Each structure stands twice: as structure tokens, then as C-alpha cells.
Structure 1
Amino acid sequence: MKPVFHKGKLTTWKDDKGFGFIHSSEGSRDVFLHITALKETNHRPQVGDVICYQLKVDKDGKVYASNAFIEEIVSKRIPKTSSSGIKKETFKPKAKSSLIFEVLLLCFLPSLGALHFALTAFNAIPLILYTVMSLLTFILYADDKSRAKQGRWRIPENTLHLCEFMGGWLGAFIAQKTLHHKSSKASYQAVFWVIVVIHIIFWCDWLFFGKKLVGLFFSSVFKV
């Protein structure tokens, strides 16, 4: 049998105690309503709300409202749509193409410099270091964001900056854009971009000014 719903206006509501009374549109009797009987818990009831409810009787013979909901709240719900009509926010072609352009622009000179170093010095350490450290830094960013959501101990910012300085700055940039992590903190961004600029100047010196700073650096660090 289909359940019977009644309708009435909330004439009394004690918000601090979580109960009130509904004046039924079908008669003069006021019906007791407790907050736990409402399906819509995101909205606190107010005097004047139209309540739809079912009637129940307790062991003492008193009538009360059950399975109640606020009519206006239900009517304002967004109707269900088919999956074909849902706009997929996760796929944004313009944002994706913009990110690719930014990554290519940012890594152009460092990549060109590292490639030139590999061909002239017969040493691919810079290219390998950039690839490995970028992947590692991206993973650390993702882990740090997961820790933040779970309220766990975070990865120190100095550790992230060290990984960026050691060649992982490109992975950090991609993580900031895709994971939206560490992208709004001004002090962190200042250090990050200083690291990026150092790398770009470093490779510009190798490509255009012939100072051979890159060769001296890798010779002293890796003894190549």
C-alpha cells in the first residue's frame, strides 16, 4: 500500500531543542515534529515552512510526524540528468593545451642546454637527472597533498625545494598545475621560481655565453 503523506505549516519551532509543531491543513490538530524525523538535515526548519509528513502513533497514543521533509527544499533539488547531459569538468581541452604550452615554454632552454651538453660532453647525466627528479618530485607533491587531506605529518617544504633544485622543478610545476598543491602560497612560490630562474640562467650561460659553468658543476659533482 502506498504511504499516505500529509501536509501542514510549521507554526512552532524550538531550534535549540530540535522540535516543533505542524498545523495540519486537514484539521485543527497540531502534530509534533522532531528534527530526527526530517530527511533534509542540511536545512534547519523555520516557522512558516511547509512540511510533508506521515503520521505515526507512539506507545502512549500520541500522534507525531515521521518521514518528513520540507516541501520547498525538495522542489528546489536539481533534477537528475542523463550521463550524456552531464558536463565533465575534469576534461578541459583549453586548460590542458595551455598547460602543455607552459611546460614546453618553461623547459625549452634547460632541455636544449641539457641535450647540447649530452652531445658535446658525451654525458647524459643532466637529462637523466631532470627526468628522474621531476618524476620523484611529482610523486612527493601528490603524497604531500594526500597527507594534508588526511591530517598526517607533511613533507617538509625544504625537502620539496631540495628536490626541485636537484632537477625536479619541472615535475613540481606540473604538480602545482594539475594537483593544485603549493600553488597559492606566496612564500613557497617565491623560492620555487628562484630555483627555476637559476636553472634557466645556468643553461643560458652554457648555450650562449660559453662560460662552461655547467661543465664545471658536473665535473666537480660527478667527476666526469
Structure 2
Amino acid sequence: MTSIRHMRRAAICSAALLACAPGLASAQDSYFFAFGGAVLNGDQGASGLISPAPATPPGQNSSVDTDYDTGFQFGLGVGRSFGSLADGVGLRGEIELSYADADADTIAFSGNGPANEINVAGGIQSTTLFANILADFETGGAVTPYVGAGVGIGRFSQDLFYGGGVQVTDSDTAFGAQLIAGVAFEATETVTITADARYRRFFDIESNRFLPSGASSGVVSGDFSAFSINVGARIAF
């Protein structure tokens, strides 16, 4: 129920962001958009009190640091252009819903020393909702660079395995932020092709850790971050 309330609040805040943005020009253009791409350099550094942890002094946190293989993401949403913020700079607002998936590559558990763990498997999936603000740098031609930032919420499902059957697994809801930089090409009056890079970070994602016997050995929590390259399209209406 808590995650549902978080998602509902994020949706209400996102809608309010678009509805209350100032009408900086008489024409206000709305659009649908969709994108997809590769998620690169995903990682999560989590820590917590783990028992037993032979290489960690008693009472101190152990760390479970995970690097992920290249994954994928896709998203869609609705946006609105609010005209010119300044000479040659346009302002847009968006509500974005996206999904991402990546498999684990390496896991390092401090309780077993500095070497990476063996028999690594599993991965992480997320469904995220963002409210974005973007600035378009108008060139007078068909190509328009843009930058933006967003805040949002994500629902994460993590299921990692390593060693002789240790499992780190749970679902959790976390707040996050993203930075966006890209370029748009106006293909027709209503269709715009986009390519962008995004950096996302979500904070304090918790997971339970279980021993091969199935007994709980503690909870670890940490931030998840990832960089992605995407292509997409905007369709004005």
C-alpha cells in the first residue's frame, strides 16, 4: 500500500507540474513521445549489518557492491511546449513512464574479502515515473539540442545470487532524479526524432540477504545509478 501511495503522489505532482507551468507563449503544443535504448554502467553500492560476515569486524556494516551488464529500457509519456523562456531557448515539461531491466555482471561482498564473488546470477528490474523539465536551444533549423532534468519515483525488483547460494532479493520503492542531454530532428511538422543520453540515480533501495539455508542474514541498502543511450520520437497533437 505504501508503494501505491508513493506512485499516486508522484503522478499527482507530475500532472500539477505540467498544469501549473507558466504559459510563456500564446501557442502551447502538446505531444506524445516514446523512446528506447541501452542501459550502461549500472551499479549499486549497498551496505548493512550482515551475520555472519567473517571478514567484517563485528558491529560494522558489510557491503554488497553490484555491477550490471548492459541492459535495456523503454518509455513513453506526454509533454507540452510552453514557448520561449528566453531568446532562442524554449521550455517543455513532460510526464514519463519507463521500464528497465539489467542482469548482474559482478558482485563483491566485503564479508568474503576483496575478490569478486563466483556463480553470479539474477538482475534488477524497475518501473519508474518521472516529471521532467527540458530546455530547447533553438537553432532556426531542423536540428535542436536540448538538456533537461527530472525527479521521480521507481519500483525496483532485485533478485541476485552468488557464491554457494546466497540470495539478495526484495522489491522496494525509491525516489530518484535524472539528467538528460540530447538532440532532436524535426522530420515533419508533427514528427520529431530524438537521440539522448540520460543519467539516473535512485536512493536507498533496500534488499534482504538470505543464506543458502534460506535464513535471513540481514538487510542491505544503497543507491542505484545508471547511464543510458536512447533514440525515440515525439508526435505533436
The TM-score by the shorter chain falls in which range? Answer: under 0.3
- Structure number with the higher strand fraction is 2
Bigger fraction of residues in helix: 1
> Normalising to structure 1: TM-score of the pair?
0.22
Larger radius of gyration: 1
Give the TM-score, by structure 2 length. 0.21
